[in-house]
C-alpha cells in the first residue's frame, strides 16, 4: 500500500466521528442542566399587590415594577425582533454561508436567552433569603441585551467557527459579560441606557480577541468569502429591521421622561448616521456608494448615542453624535478592515467599525455629559452601593467612573476573548482548512443550485480523491463499488485485516458532481474502477497517498459504516 498509513486514517475517522456528535451531545447536556437550574432556583416575578389583591400603581416618574408587562413588553418585542431578524439577516451577506449565518444566529440567540436569564438571576436578582431568582419581562429584555453582545462577537468570527465552538464561546462570554455589567452598573454606577459600553464595546472586542487567537493564514486566501447581489439584498433587510427598532433597544429599560428622551435621541442620531454614511460613501467611492457601508455604518448612530440616550443632550447633540458615528464607521469599513488583517485580526462582519469604535465614542460621550450634571442627571441612578461617595458622589467622580467602566469593559472583553479563543483551539473543535471556511455545505444539506460542482466542498473532495492518486497495483486496492442504494463502498487493507468504508452520496447534486468530475481527464489515475448507476460507465476513483485532515473532515459526515473485518 505504499506510504499510505491506514491506522492513522482509521484514527482520524474515529476522531471526526467524535467531533461530528460533540455538538448535539454538548447542547443536550447543557439543556438538561438549564432545566435543572430553572426548576430549582427560578420563579415568576409578579407585580406587588395590596392586601386586598389590587395592583400597586406607580407614578409616571417612578421606576415601574419589573413585573409590569404593559410597560416593558412592547419594548421587549421590538428588541426580540432585532436579535432574531435584524442580526440574523444582517449576516447573510456571505453568498455561500447564508444558511449558517441566519440559522446559527437563531441557535445562539435561543441558547443565550436561557443562559443569560440564569446567570443574571444569580448575579443581579438572587434572593438570599428564599434562594431563588425572579423572572419577568425586564429579565427577558436584559437577556436580549446579553444576546446582542454574543451575536456581535459571532459577527467577528462568522464563517470560521463550527457550531460547537459557537456554543462554548457563548457559554463563556455570557458569564464574563454579566459580571462586567454588574460591576459597572452596581458598583461603578456608570449609566449606559442603550448598553453601548456593556454590550457593544464588550461584544466587539471579545469577538475580535477570539478572532485573533483563532486566526489562520489560509483564511485570507479563501475565495468563498464574498457577497452576491441577492445575499446583499437579504442583508439589507436586516439593516432596515435594526434601523426601525433601535429606539426601542436604547429605551428598553428607561422610564418616564428618560424613555421619551431615549426614543427621540436614538431616532435622530441614527437618521444622522444614515445621511452621513451616504455622503461619505459617495465621496470615498468617487460618486458611487458601497453596499457594505449602507448595510452597517448607517446603524452606527444607534450605537454611539446609547450611553447617553436617556440624558438631556438635546436633539442637536444627538445629531452630532450620530454624524460622527456614521463618519467613523464608514471610514473604518473603507480603510481599517484590510489593515486589521495584517494584525492577524480577520473581522468578518466588521464589528470593530459598527460596534467597537461607535461604542467607544458613546463611552466618551458619557464621560463628557457626566461633567454637566444638569444634562446627565446622574444622581437619579446612584445608590448607597456606589463607590466614590454613594448618593453624594461628585461630578468629577461620576465622570471618572464612566471612564473606568469603559476601560474595565475593554480589559475584560479582550482578556476574556483571548482565553476563550485559546480554549476553542483544542483539537476537539478543530476546523481543518480554508475549504471549510464560509461554506454551508459543511454543515447543511444544501439544494442543487447551491454552487457549481467545481467549487463546492463535495466537489473539491471528489477532485482530491480522483486526481491525487498513488501508483498502486490492482491487488493492493480492491475495486470500490457504488450500489443502487447510492453507497460507495471501499475495502482497504490494514495490518489487522481490512477496513470497509461505506459512504452514502445522499444528494443528487453530489452524485452529479462526482460523475461530472470523473469524466474529465486526469493524470495518475488508479486503475481500480467504480461503476456508477448514474453515469452508465466505469470511472476511476481511488484514495490519495496521504489524506489530509480536511479531507477526513469532509469525508466523515458521509460515513455510515467503518468496520474492521
Show pLDDT as tens, one digit a residue, over the chain (565 residues).
445 455 555 555 566 666 778 899 999 999 999 999 999 999 998 877 666 666 666 665 677 777 788 889 999 999 999 999 999 999 999 999 999 999 999 999 999 999 999 999 999 999 999 999 999 999 999 999 999 999 999 999 999 999 999 999 999 999 999 999 999 999 999 999 999 999 999 999 999 999 999 998 777 767 788 899 999 999 999 999 999 999 999 999 998 899 999 999 999 999 999 999 999 999 999 999 999 999 999 999 999 999 999 999 999 999 999 999 999 999 999 999 989 999 999 999 999 999 999 999 999 999 999 999 999 999 988 989 999 888 889 999 999 999 999 999 999 999 999 999 999 998 888 665 556 788 888 888 888 777 544 455 545 555 554 454 444 444 444 444 545 444 555 555 544 455 455 554 444 444 444 444 444 444 343 333 333 333 433 333 344 444 444 444 444 544 444 443 3
Q: 10 exposed, middle or buried (CB, 10 Å; 0-12, 13-18, 19+)?
A: middle
Q: 391 exposed, middle or buried (CB, 10 Å; 0-12, 13-18, 19+)?
A: exposed
- Give residue limits of the domains in the chain: 10-22+72-440, 445-564
**What number of CA atoms fall less than 13 Å from residue 151's CA on the CB side?**
31
Q: How do residues 336-353 score in pLDDT, each as one tens digit?
A: 998 999 999 999 999 999
- Cell triple for 383: 445608590
Per CATH, the number for 10-22+72-440 is 1.10.3430.10
- Write 458-463 long-range contacts (CB < 8 A, 24+): 458/509, 458/510, 458/513, 458/514, 458/554, 459/513, 459/517, 460/435, 460/554, 461/551, 461/554, 461/555, 462/513, 462/514, 462/517, 462/518, 463/517
The residue to which cell 462570554 is assigned: 173
**pTM of this prediction exceeds 0.75:** yes
Task: State how far the Cα of 342 lies from the Cα of 337, in Å rounded to an integer.
Answer: 9
Task: State how far the Cα of 431 lies from the Cα of 508, in Å rounded to an integer.
Answer: 26
Amino acid at each position: 500500500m505504499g506510504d499510505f498509513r491506514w491506522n492513522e486514517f482509521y484514527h482520524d475517522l474515529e476522531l471526526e466521528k467524535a467531533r461530528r456528535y460533540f455538538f448535539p451531545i454538548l447542547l443536550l447536556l447543557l439543556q438538561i442542566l438549564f432545566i435543572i437550574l430553572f426548576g430549582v432556583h427560578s420563579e415568576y416575578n409578579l407585580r406587588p399587590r395590596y392586601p386586598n389583591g389590587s395592583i400597586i400603581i406607580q407614578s409616571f416618574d417612578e421606576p415601574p415594577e419589573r413585573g409590569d408587562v404593559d410597560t416593558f413588553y412592547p419594548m421587549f418585542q421590538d428588541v426580540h425582533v432585532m436579535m432574531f431578524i435584524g442580526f440574523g439577516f444582517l449576516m447573510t451577506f456571505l453568498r455561500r454561508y447564508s444558511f449558517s449565518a441566519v440559522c446559527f444566529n437563531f441557535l445562539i440567540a435561543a441558547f443565550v436567552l436561557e443562559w443569560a436569564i440564569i446567570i443574571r438571576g444569580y448575579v443581579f436578582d438572587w434572593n438570599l433569603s428564599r434562594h431563588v431568582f425572579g423572572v419577568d419581562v425586564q429579565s427577558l429584555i436584559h437577556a436580549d441585551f446579553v444576546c446582542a453582545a454574543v451575536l456581535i462577537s459571532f459577527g467577528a468570527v462568522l464563517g470560521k467557527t463550527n457550531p460547537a465552538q459557537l456554543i462554548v464561546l457563548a457559554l463563556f462570554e455570557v458569564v464574563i459579560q454579566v459580571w462586567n455589567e454588574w460591576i459597572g452598573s452596581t458598583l461603578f454606577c456608570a449609566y449606559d441606557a442603550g448598553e453601548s459600553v456593556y454590550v457593544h464595546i464588550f461584544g466587539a472586542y471579545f469577538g475580535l480577541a477570539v478572532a485573533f487567537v483563532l486566526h489562520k493564514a489560509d483564511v485570507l486566501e479563501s475565495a468563498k468569502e464574498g457577497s452576491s447581489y441577492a445575499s446583499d439584498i437579504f442583508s439589507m433587510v436586516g439593516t432596515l429591521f435594526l434601523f426601525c427598532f433601535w429606539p426601542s433597544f436604547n429605551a428598553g429599560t428607561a422610564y418616564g421622561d428618560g424613555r421619551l428622551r431615549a426614543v427621540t435621541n436614538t431616532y435622530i442620531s441614527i437618521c444622522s448616521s444614515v445621511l452621513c454614511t451616504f455622503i461619505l460613501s459617495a465621496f470615498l467611492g468617487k460618486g458611487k456608494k458601497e453596499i457594505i457601508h449602507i448595510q452597517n455604518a448607517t446603524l452606527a448612530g444607534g450605537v454611539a448615542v446609547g450611553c447617553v440616550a436617556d440624558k438631556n443632550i438635546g436633539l442637536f447633540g444627538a445629531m452630532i453624535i450620530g454624524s460622527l458615528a456614521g463618519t467613523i464607521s464608514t471610514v473604518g469599513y473603507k480603510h481599517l478592515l484590510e489593515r486589521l488583517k495584517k494584525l492577524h485580526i480577520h473581522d468578518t462582519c466588521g464589528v470593530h467599525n459598527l460596534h467597537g469604535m461607535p461604542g467607544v465614542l458613546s463611552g466618551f460621550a458619557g464621560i463628557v455629559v457626566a461633567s454637566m450634571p444638569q444634562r446627565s442627571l446622574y444622581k437619579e441612578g446612584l445608590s448607597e452601593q456606589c463607590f466614590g461617595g454613594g448618593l453624594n458622589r461628585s461630578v468629577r467622580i461620576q465622570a471618572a467612573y464612566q471612564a473606568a467602566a469603559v476601560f474595565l469593559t475593554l480589559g475584560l472583553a479582550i482578556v476574556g476573548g483571548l482565553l476563550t479563543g485559546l480554549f476553542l483551539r483544542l483539537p476537539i473543535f478543530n476546523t481543518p482548512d480554508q475549504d471549510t471556511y464560509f461554506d454551508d455545505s459543511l454543515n447543511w444539506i444544501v439544494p442543487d443550485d447551491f454552487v457549481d460542482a467545481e467549487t463546492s466542498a463535495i466537489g473539491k473532495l471528489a477532485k482530491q480523491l480522483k486526481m491525487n492518486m498513488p501508483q498502486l497495483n490492482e491487488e493492493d486496492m480492491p475495486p470500490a463499488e457504488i450500489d443502487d442504494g447510492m453507497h460507495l463502498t471501499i475495502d482497504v487493507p490494514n495490518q489487522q485485516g481490512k477496513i470497509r468504508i461505506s459512504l452514502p452520496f445522499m444528494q443528487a447534486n453530489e452524485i452529479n458532481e462526482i460523475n461530472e468530475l470523473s469524466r474529465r481527464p486526469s493524470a495518475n489515475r488508479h486503475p481500480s474502477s467504480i461503476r456508477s448507476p448514474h453515469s452508465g460507465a466505469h470511472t476511476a476513483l481511488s484514495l490519495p497517498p496521504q489524506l489530509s485532515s480536511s479531507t477526513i473532515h469532509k469525508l466523515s459526515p458521509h460515513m455510515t459504516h467503518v468496520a474492521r473485518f
